[in-house]
Structure 1
């Protein structure tokens, strides 16, 4: 089984091609260019350099969330387009689980997956490394750094933090909850992790069609939050005016 995986949930962007769990190729870019400019060319060049085509791919996997709203939309839209054109099933992978898979070999370590969600929050999930598998200890969620720090005190395992929010977690929480940073080459999200997470979805029979594929944000966008705040303020103003009539 061949899996084409896409990762565009944060600053970096990557694509990977795997066959029966073995990495054939991966292309990674963190140049500051928008993913709308880089993702499709990366996929095209990688497949071309491998002598492969989209027709030979069995599953298209993508980091479906959480993550950057724009990055997720670009990744999911790209996967949908490729899947529809080639009539391929899709694997909507958790971004957080995907970033934990490259560390699964570190048996009995608590993997703290962290993406910077701004507003003193991180997108986070906790996993226990089991060598050839992961044991999920929490759902994907948006959580404050303070809440995460308190929760981590309950775990006695050695802790390692991974993701584009790893440095933020380390700088904020390391004094109260000792942890180590994942090695630099494994710290950022990568398409290989997405491909590995997709294998689990294949086993679970959890693939979807291109039409069903959708991003999972876990939090309202800034624009939506601001709109709700304006509506709430307008409601209070109207109610206040009515009391004085």
Structure 2
């Protein structure tokens, strides 16, 4: 089995090739640049360097959100197109789950990945490794960081926080959780596309026609459009 993993759900752009239990290659950047322009050349370069052709692929795994509305849409669109064209399975994995998988494997406690969602909000969830498998303790959600910190303060174990947006929220987390809060190092904060590939390796393929991203909330522009439309219809 040769898996291509794609993650454009946030500023980090990641591509990986996993063959059986071997990581053939990874490409990762954490830049505020246009993913729509860079993702296909990244895939092509990685596959060429690893000596692989599209026909060699047996599964596509994509980060399905939450995250940047545009970024999530780009990755999912490309993944669906490739899976459809190559007639191979497509699997979607939570962008938060990818972060948790990369840091929590050897941590004796809970893992709280997070992405900043502005206005004091974060996309987050809570995970824990049990018997060698990553399990969700609290599902993906959009929540005020202050409320989330209070909720986690009641947990019975330490909490490892991970994500590139930690500097925006670390002070508040420390204020509420104190010594119970542990923070991933800078080198552990990028979601690894190889982790994405491994997570998707054991998941069954999904229906291409019904597969959609997990935005958690509507894009701001879409929400305003729907709100305005509702007012017009109700007026």
Q: TM-score, normalized by length of structure 1?
A: 0.88
- Deviations along 1:161-190, one digit per CA (max 9) or x if unpaired, are 112332233232112113222122221223
Q: Which structure has the bigger radius of gyration? A: 1
Residue 37 of structure 1 aligns with which residue?
37
Residue 21 of structure 2 aligns with which residue?
21
How far apart, in 1, do the equivalents of 2:74 and 2:142 lie? 21
Residue pair 2:6, 2:79 contacting (<8 A) in 1 also: yes
Which runs of 4 or more aligned residues in structure 1 lie more than 6 Å from their structure 2 counterparts after TM superposition?
none
Residue pair 1:107, 1:131 contacting (<8 A) in 2 also: no
How far apart, in 2, do the equivalents of 1:176 and 1:168 lie? 15
Q: How far off its partner does 1:33 sit? A: 1.8
Alignment of structure 1 residues 1-245 onto 2, 5 Å? 1-130=1-130, 132-178=132-178, 179-201=181-203, 205=204, 207-231=205-229, 238=235
Residue pair 2:99, 2:192 contacting (<8 A) in 1 also: yes
Q: Secondary structure at the match of 1:139?
A: strand
Residue 241 of structure 1 aligns with which residue?
none
Q: Secondary structure at the match of 1:172?
A: helix
How far apart, in 1, do the equivalents of 2:202 and 2:99 lie? 14
Q: Secondary structure at the match of 1:114?
A: strand
Q: Secondary structure at the match of 1:29?
A: strand
Structure 1: gaps spanning 5 or more residues: 239-245
Structure 2: gaps spanning 5 or more residues: none
Residue pair 1:110, 1:126 contacting (<8 A) in 2 also: yes
Residue pair 2:102, 2:191 contacting (<8 A) in 1 also: no
Q: How far off its partner does 1:231 sit? A: 4.7
- Deviations along 1:17-71, one digit per CA (max 9) or x if unpaired, are 1122332110012232200011111110001001011211111000011111000
